[in-house]
Structure 1
Amino acid sequence: MKKAKVYTKTGDDGTTSLVGGERVQKSNARIHLYGDIDSLNSHVGLALSFKSAKQQHQAFDYLGELQSRLFDIGSNIACLAKERDKFQLPTISKSDITELESLIDQLEAQLPALKNFIMPGGCLMASQLHVCRTLARQIERNAVHFAADNVDEVPEVVLQFFNRLSDYFFVVARYANFQEGIAETIWQGKKSKS
């Protein structure tokens, strides 16, 4: 069997193929959206590489599964809604959101209550998870915008998933610092000069 080349040269004209074969400009909002999801997936992989021996909880283990869920979502966005059944693409469901909520609740029960805004940072894992949090929020905003212009192309469950996902990243980042014994840095606004 002949090995396929990584490069195809078919995108040299600034277009790319959707799952169904339709060619669109690489500047298309759909391409930006699933490109952002791919970027988040890479950042989740980087976060996993920072996992220390102290960071033990199924919420950290979930990061690997999350990468597959992000691929599921990206593949659906890369396909026109009317063709998704034809290609039998994997989808996410309400149970994926429930799983995120369960992990968030488990961690929050062990963390000190937040009374102030905190600065992103701390250990490498926490810092990277804060990057993931901001990317998840960006994807949510872009998905809402794309859905408004492209009816039925972004399932409501996907919007809900990204809303919950940023909360998950926030709490797991806090928990990573908690397990490492790193105190959170409280945001202190600049004092006005009298």
Structure 2
Amino acid sequence: MVKLNKIYTRTGDSGTTGLVDGSRVGKQDARMEAIGSVDEANCAIGLAVLALEGGHRASLLRVQNDLFDLGADLATPLGTLGEDFTPSPMTLRIIPEQVAWLEQAIDAINENLAPLTSFILPGGTEAGARVHIARASVRRAERACVALAAEVPVNPQALAYINRLSDYLFVLGRAVNDDGAADVLWVPGASRQG
């Protein structure tokens, strides 16, 4: 259980921050960029939660918890003892079941949506716009995670999760837009037509 008695520690005043294994990295490190981007995406999802009710709201609350798991995963580098990304009582990792849950949720939502005939503009309804802001934030977090993976080993399930999450938010945005009826379609070259 996490217990925070004191919010400031002064240990980061030098421009470094601690990881789960006790090591310290610069706050500009690619690992911290990925963790921070996941946190920002979680904040955007929190804003979307406020516009939703029922099952969609509950699903996004689950996602917010999963994103804390993802942050913990990213904050736990592999050591030098031949470890893999298997979770343990002391190591929290994204697992295949979390990715599978997103895939099932995407399929369930997509069943009720008409096929797209055009790209859609982010918006439609306030709830839809909030979900699209969250989707774009997740895409940025994914880019940061992929950049980190180009430098150091990253749990493949973490990368799969963040990729599926943006897909989930895309179909959720359409679902909350009256199952796509309130989507605003992109009209290529519309500003040049007169």
TM-score range, shorter chain: 0.7 to 0.9
How far apart, in 2, do the equivalents of 1:33 and 1:113 lie? Answer: 33
Identity, % of aligned positions? 36
TM-score relative to the length of structure 2: 0.86
How far apart, in 2, do the equivalents of 1:46 and 1:109 lie? Answer: 26
Change (3 A) 1:34 1:184: same
Is contact 1:132-1:169 (8 Å) kept? yes
Is contact 1:59-1:103 (8 Å) kept? no
Change (3 A) 1:99 1:59: farther
Q: List structure 1 runs of 4+ shifted beyond 4 angstroms.
A: 83-87, 191-194
How far apart, in 1, do the equivalents of 2:155 and 2:40 lie? Answer: 20
How far apart, in 2, do the equivalents of 1:106 and 1:155 lie? Answer: 26
Q: Cα RMSD between the aligned structures?
A: 2.3
Change (3 A) 1:124 1:193: closer
Is contact 2:37-2:144 (8 Å) kept? no
Residue in structure 1 matched with residue 110 of structure 2 by the alignment? 108
Residue 91 of structure 1: CA displacement? 2.0
How far apart, in 1, do the equivalents of 2:104 and 2:88 lie? Answer: 33
Residue 175 of structure 1: CA displacement? 0.5
Is contact 1:47-1:128 (8 Å) kept? yes
Please, which of 72, 76, 96 is the counterpart of residue 75 of structure 1?
A: 72
Matched residue pairs, number?
185
How far apart, in 1, do the equivalents of 2:136 and 2:185 lie? Answer: 18
Q: Flag structure 1 segments of 5+ consecutive residues without an equivalent.
A: none
Is contact 2:121-2:186 (8 Å) kept? yes
How far apart, in 2, do the equivalents of 1:117 and 1:59 lie? Answer: 23
Residue in structure 1 matched with residue 121 of structure 2 by the alignment? 119
Q: Is 1:99 paired with 2:96?
A: no
How far apart, in 1, do the equivalents of 2:193 and 2:50 lie? Answer: 44
Residue 193 of structure 1: CA displacement? 6.7
TM-score relative to the length of structure 1: 0.86
Residue in structure 2 matched with residue 18 of structure 1 by the alignment? 19
Residue 120 of structure 2 aligns to a residue whose secondary structure is coil
Q: Is 1:188 paired with 2:187?
A: yes
Q: Flag structure 2 segments of 5+ consecutive residues without an equivalent.
A: none
Residue 90 of structure 1: CA displacement? 2.3
Is contact 1:72-1:89 (8 Å) kept? no
Residue 182 of structure 1: CA displacement? 5.8
Residue 167 of structure 1: CA displacement? 0.6
Give a deviation string over 1:132-191, Cα, whole Å, max 9, x none: 1112211222212211111x2x11111111111111000001101116x86211101225
Is contact 2:20-2:75 (8 Å) kept? yes
